[in-house]
């Protein structure tokens, strides 16, 4: 066992201090400074948290809107490429929607698909005016009564009997609507504004 006196310890410490980097002996934070920084971080987090939650909720609505718009493009493309009417259907009660070839044209549709909405998003299918009658008189062929739909004819154009507005709503944060484009050749997503009188 080594028996060093205080003077030897002091000389050894001073020698060690000269050879060590200077940052090792720089002044550290005090406890009060650390508590102050933590308090500022906590205050900042409480101010930012509601905005961040709203941001993430809004992203779910945007993603559903983009998926729905992409599905209209897919339906239009399939109608032209396969030469058959494609149905994009909406079931607001079960919060689902899907895409398939209109019943009666093929036995099975290998490319049919259905999607469930995000749990925070609801689907609405408001009725706007009187529903026109299709030239083919088959707008309900293969569809459950009361299920709104958008039908793309083999030429790629939406059938006039198609649903004119689909509303995606996320609580009171906002809503989007899928509506026909101005030229009537497809659909687009817009911010939802309630129609007067509806």
Please report, rounded to a whole number, the percentage of residues in the chain having pLDDT higher than 70.
73
**Fold held by 35-191:** minor pseudopilin epsh fold (3.55.40)
Q: How far is CA 178 from CA 60, 90, 158, 198, in A?
A: 16, 12, 13, 17
| Average pLDDT of the chain, as a whole number | 79
Write out the two tokens for 131: 């529903």
How deeply is 131 buried, as exposed, middle or buried, from its count of CB atoms within 10 A (0-12, 13-18, 19+)?
middle
pTM score:
0.65
How many other CB atoms are found less than 10 A from the CB of residue 170? 20
Where are the chain's structural domains?
A: 35-191
Of 9-13, 87-91, 194-198, where does mean pLDDT reach its minimum?
Answer: 194-198
Q: 166-183 pLDDT, tens per residue? A: 888 887 767 888 888 888
């Amino acid at each position: 066992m080594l028996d060093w006196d205080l003077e030897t310890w002091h000389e050894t410490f001073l020698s060690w201090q000269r050879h060590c980097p200077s940052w090792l002996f720089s002044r550290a934070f005090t406890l009060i400074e650390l508590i102050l920084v933590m308090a500022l971080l906590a205050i900042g987090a409480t101010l930012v948290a509601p905005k961040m939650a709203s941001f993430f909720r809004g992203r779910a609505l945007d993603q559903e809107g983009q998926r729905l718009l992409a599905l209209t493009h897919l339906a239009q493309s399939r109608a032209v490429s396969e030469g058959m009417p494609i149905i994009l259907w909406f079931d607001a009660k079960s919060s689902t929607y899907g895409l398939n070839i209109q019943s009666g044209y093929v036995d099975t549709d290998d490319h049919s698909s259905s999607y469930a909405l995000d749990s925070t998003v609801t689907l609405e299918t408001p009725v706007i005016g009187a529903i026109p009658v299709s030239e083919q008189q088959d707008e309900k062929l293969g569809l459950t009564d009361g299920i709104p739909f958008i039908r793309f004819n083999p030429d790629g154009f939406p059938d006039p009997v198609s649903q004119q507005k689909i509303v995606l709503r996320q609580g009171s944060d906002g809503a989007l609507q899928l509506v026909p484009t101005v030229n009537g050749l497809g659909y687009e997503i817009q911010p939802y504004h309630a129609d007067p009188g509806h």
